[in-house]
Amino acid sequence: MKKKYFNILFLLFVLSARIIVSGQSVRVMNELFGLEDKIPGKKQVTVVIDPGHGGRDPGKIGVNGILEKDLNLMVSLRLESLLKENDINVIMTRTEDTGLYSESDSNKKRADMRKRVDIINNSGAVLAVSIHQNSFVEEYVRGAQVFYHGSSVQGKELAIILQDQLIKTLKDGNHRKAKSNESYYMLRMTQCPLVIVECGYLSNHNEAALLSDPEYQEKLAWAVHLGILRYLNMNSGQEKHMDNE
Ligand SMILES: [Zn+2]
């Protein structure tokens, strides 16, 4: 009998916990992960967000004059808070308009990239996402695209999910597919799966205007955070499986 009452109490507890927990992304998290992820003391998953460029490196410059480094940071900060709402430990490579080099570095770009890789490799992160904006000589070219290193099975999986989620969330007729890149320094040097999200083309008038809009930035961050949650959900089963072995 006692066990029965305990079960009923536990059920009531679970139901009230489900009702108390609110907020759209928390609901998404619960649907994806189940309530066991809310157990206090459970090891947090770490994710690194890397807003590209910064400081004296503006990145691409939009047709409307907007700087890539600023957009990267704005999208990344929104993504950071969405992931934190889902109990994910987030490490940012930068949170201000600064590059990751010192004034004494002779090759600041190289120093900056090395430092980003160091942060990611020392973070214990399960994945890292670099946020960038694209540009091309032909004005009509547009659409978000995600890049991964060809030798990384998990990087490819993450990139495909993020590409899919960006297309579903933005609903802008983008037909791009996640693409491998074997030459980019950060893709080669990071130990955990890293993907580069090119949010759109600053050389396209319509897209540059959209990317400059805080609501659109929120949408982008929302898509990337949903994609990360989907990826973590798919891989949490594998972790549990490995733990049991
Ligand atoms: Zn860039």
Q: The CATH number of the domain where 54 resides is what?
A: 3.40.630.40
pLDDT of residue 30: 52
Given a contact cutoff of 8 angstroms between Cβ atoms, the answer to whether 134 and 198 are in contact is yes
Place of tokens 């955070």: 225
User: Angle at which helices 214-244 and 68-85 pack, to 10 degrees?
Assistant: 50
- My answer on whether 82 and 181 are in the same domain is yes
- My answer on whether 56 and 146 are in the same domain is yes
For residue 42, pLDDT over 70 is answered with: no
- My answer on whether 1 and 106 are in the same domain is no
| 186-226: pLDDT as tens digits | 999 999 999 999 999 999 999 999 999 999 999 999 999 99
Question: How confident is the model over 69-76, as a mean pLDDT?
Answer: 98
Q: Which two tokens stand for residue 10?
A: 């536990």
Ligand 1 centroid from CA 72, angstroms: 8
Ligand 1 centroid from CA 19, angstroms: 42
Q: Which two tokens stand for residue 176?
A: 């791009």
Ligand 1 centroid from CA 61, angstroms: 10
Ligand 1 centroid from CA 134, angstroms: 7
- My answer on whether 8 and 59 are in the same domain is no
DSSP string, 132-160: EEE--SSTT----EEEE-TT-HHHHHHHH
- My answer on whether 78 and 32 are in the same domain is no
Ligand 1 centroid from CA 143, angstroms: 15
Ligand 1 centroid from CA 147, angstroms: 12
| 98-127: pLDDT as tens digits | 999 999 999 999 999 999 999 999 999 999
Question: How confident is the model over 62-72, as a mean pLDDT?
Answer: 98
Ligand 1 centroid from CA 194, angstroms: 15
- My answer on whether 138 and 108 are in the same domain is yes
DSSP state of 37: G
* Beta-bridge mates of residue 196: 130, 147
- My answer on whether 179 and 233 are in the same domain is yes
For residue 7, pLDDT over 90 is answered with: no
The backbone torsions φ and ψ at residue 194, rounded to the nearest 5 degrees and listed phi first, read -120, 135
Write down the mean pLDDT value for the chain.
88
Distance, in Å, from the CA atom of 225 to the CA atom of 80, rounded to the nearest integer, reads 9
Going by C-alpha positions, the residue among 132, 115, 120, 147 that lies closest to residue 73 is: 132
Distance, in Å, from the CA atom of 229 to the CA atom of 239, rounded to the nearest integer, reads 15
Ligand 1 centroid from CA 225, angstroms: 20
- My answer on whether 154 and 170 are in the same domain is yes
Share of the chain above pLDDT 90, in %: 78
- My answer on whether 101 and 147 are in the same domain is yes
The backbone torsions φ and ψ at residue 190, rounded to the nearest 5 degrees and listed phi first, read -85, 145
**pTM value?**
0.82
Ligand 1 centroid from CA 161, angstroms: 21
Ligand 1 centroid from CA 182, angstroms: 16
Ligand 1 centroid from CA 116, angstroms: 14
- My answer on whether 102 and 23 are in the same domain is no
Number of domains in the chain: 2
- My answer on whether 68 and 150 are in the same domain is yes
Structural domain range at position 32: 1-42
- My answer on whether 67 and 179 are in the same domain is yes
